[in-house]
Homo-oligomer: A and B are copies of this chain.
Amino acid sequence: MSADLQRFSGAKVLVTGGLGFIGSHLAKRLVELGADVTIVDSLIPEYGGNLFNVRDIADRVRINLSDIRDPWSIRQLVRGQDFLFNLAGQVSHVDSMEDPQTDLEINVKAQVDLLEACRAGNPDIRIVYAASRQQYGRPQFLPVTEDHPLVPVDVNGINLIAGESYHLLYHRVHGIRATSLRLTNTYGPHLLMKHGRQGFITVFIRRALEGQDLQVFGDGSQLRDFTYVDDCVEAFLAVAVHDEAYGRAFNVGGQEPVSLLEVARLCQELAGAGGKATTAPWPPERERIDIGSIYVSHERLTRLTGWEPKVSLREGLARTFDFYRAHGEHYWT
């Protein structure tokens, strides 16, 4: 264990969205580091929370079921915590377009209440907020750095910008020690699989395992970057213990960009279930919100903390397919 991460030993840590994909891996890692972990999760059926995600640590964490839109429980829960990893959110871009108000309530209104709760009840807390490269919209240059203009192309992007801005503003004005991580496509075990509205990678994994073909729109050459969930967790820990991270936003990227068609082929190869990777013309309603190739630079994060993504896409996907082969039944419905 690095000296920095020893700070989590005995620390009180709150993880919102802690039954979800990234939150559950983070909670497990924190338990291993000796932290006293409280998970907050709403277990909204359509979202990513799943009790199976904490099967290994259920007796070593406190699980508090509540919705971050409930300011009363949040006000109590932030008290006395040393760290807050703030991962609860509405993360489906598709859903955000169909129901912008729910996205706004969770990703902005609840965030303001949470920050106000910290300001009033625990101003010394250290917060790491889960934001998204979605905030950049259509890239004006590649790789996308943190200084790239924020011109979101969907409701979720608008609201994440506001949620992040509130965190950084509360640092600047009220001294709350908050950092934002802009995550790219993050993947691995514990991804929600019961529907495909939280990102194409879940659709790829599930369909490949089922032996179905994978369809990529256009010619499939659009580049994306991918972060394996264990690497993502290390980024959260690294910024949480770094005093120069407060008040700033950092991209969390992957090893190198890969085309969507390549990803689809890799999934089919690793799944070994007989499906093919194909291309198809753009449906007009999808093309309108497509952003072409996009991948981020994480140089700012590496320079500050030394963090680097360690798990290759092939290795990460292999682990992911192994997980769903063994435990898929807990995720399909």
Contact surface of A with B, Cβ cutoff 8 Å: 97, 100-101, 104, 108-109, 112-113, 116, 147, 149-150, 152-155, 158-159, 161-162, 165-166, 169, 172-173, 288-289
Contact = CB atoms under 8 A, between A and B. Distances in A.
A108 B111 CA distance: 14
A169 B154 contact: yes
Contact of A104 (B109, B161, B289): B109
A178 to B, nearest CB: 14
A118 to B, nearest CB: 13
A162 B166 contact: no
Contacts of A161: 161-162, 165
Interface centre among A150, A165, A288 (most CB of B within 10 A): A165
Number of copies: 2
Given A101-B109, A109-B104, A166 B158 contact: yes
A100 to B, nearest CB: 5
Contact of A169 (B116, B150, B152, B169): B152
Contacts of A162: 108, 158-159, 161-162
A153 B174 CA distance: 12
29 contacts: A100-B112, A100-B116, A100-B166, A101-B109, A101-B112, A101-B113, A104-B108, A104-B109, A104-B112, A108-B108, A108-B162, A109-B109, A152-B165, A152-B169, A153-B169, A153-B172, A153-B173, A154-B169, A155-B169, A158-B162, A158-B165, A158-B166, A158-B169, A161-B161, A161-B162, A161-B165, A162-B162, A172-B288, A173-B288
A92 B97 CA distance: 30
A147 B97 CA distance: 26
B150 A150 contact: yes
Contacts of A147: 149
A119 to B, nearest CB: 10
A165 B109 CA distance: 17
A107 to B, nearest CB: 10
Contacts of A113: 101
A217 B116 CA distance: 29
